[in-house]
C-alpha cells in the first residue's frame, strides 16, 4: 500500500460528526494549496510556496512528510470537499521532537470542535510514533491560533521560530 493511500496512524479513518479525517493523497495537492491560501488571505498573509518558503511543504508533501517517514499530513473532508488540513513532521529540536504544521480550517467550519479533534488526531499519531516534544510556530496576527494552542496546553518558549514569517513558538510535552 502506498503511503498516500494509508489511513491515519490511529488505525482507521477518523470520523467526527460529518467530517472524515484521512491521510493526504496526491490528488489533494491543488485543493490543499487553495485552502491554505484562502485561510491566510484575510490576515494579509501571502502564500509562500517558493524554495524554502513557509508553505513549500504543501506542494511537496511526499518529500517533506512521506520521504523517510518523517511525518504525516491529514485532510478533513465534509460532503466530499476538503475543509481542513493538519500535519506534523520531525524537526531538529531534539531526537523526539516534531512540529505541527499546516493546521488550517476554513472559516465556516471553525468553532465546531473540529480543531480540537484534529489536534487529538495529531497528538495520538505523534505519540504512537514515539515523539513527545511537540512544537507549533504561528503568527501573532492569527489571533484565533494564539488563543487555541495555549487552550490545549501549548506554552510559549523563548527560542525563535524557524519559519521567517512566524513570530511565536509554542511547546507541549506529551505524556
Query: pLDDT tens-digit profile of 40-49?
Result: 999 999 999 9
β-strands 133-138, 97-105 pairing: parallel
- pTM metric for this prediction: 0.90
Residue 82: strand, helix, or coil:
strand
| Band of residue 95 on the pLDDT scale cut at 50, 70, 90 | confident
What separation in angstroms does the CA of 172 have from each of 97, 136, 154? 10, 9, 5
Query: pLDDT tens-digit profile of 14-37?
Result: 777 899 999 999 999 999 999 999
C-alpha cell belonging to residue 103: 493546521
Using an 8 Å Cβ cutoff, are 41 and 148 in contact? no
C-alpha cell belonging to residue 50: 517558493
pLDDT number for residue 13: 66
Give all domains of the chain, ordered by start, each with its CATH number: 3-173 (3.40.630.30)
- Range 149-167 average pLDDT: 94
| Band of residue 132 on the pLDDT scale cut at 50, 70, 90 | very high
pLDDT number for residue 10: 44
| Band of residue 126 on the pLDDT scale cut at 50, 70, 90 | very high
Using an 8 Å Cβ cutoff, are 138 and 130 in contact? no
Q: What is the mean pLDDT of the chain?
A: 91
Amino acid at each position: 500500500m502506498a503511503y498516500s493511500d494509508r489511513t491515519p496512524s490511529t488505525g482507521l479513518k477518523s470520523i467526527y460528526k460529518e467530517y472524515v479525517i484521512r491521510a493526504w493523497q496526491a490528488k489533494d495537492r491543488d485543493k490543499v494549496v487553495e485552502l491554505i491560501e484562502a485561510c491566510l488571505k484575510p490576515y494579509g498573509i501571502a502564500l509562500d510556496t517558493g524554495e524554502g518558503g513557509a508553505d513549500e511543504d504543501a506542494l511537496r508533501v511526499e518529500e517533506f512528510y512521506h520521504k523517510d517517514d518523517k511525518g504525516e499530513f491529514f485532510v478533513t473532508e465534509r460532503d466530499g470537499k476538503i475543509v481542513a488540513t493538519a500535519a506534523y513532521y520531525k524537526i531538529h529540536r531534539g531526537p523526539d521532537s516534531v512540529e505541527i504544521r499546516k493546521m488550517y480550517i476554513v472559516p465556516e467550519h471553525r468553532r465546531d470542535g473540529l480543531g480540537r479533534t484534529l489536534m487529538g488526531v495529531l497528538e495520538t499519531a505523534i505519540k504512537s510514533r514515539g515523539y513527545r516534544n511537540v512544537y507549533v510556530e504561528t503568527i501573532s496576527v492569527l489571533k484565533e491560533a494564539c488563543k487555541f494552542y495555549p487552550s490545549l496546553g501549548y506554552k510559549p518558549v523563548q527560542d525563535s521560530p524557524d519559519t521567517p514569517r512566524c513570530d511565536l513558538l509554542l511547546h507541549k510535552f506529551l505524556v
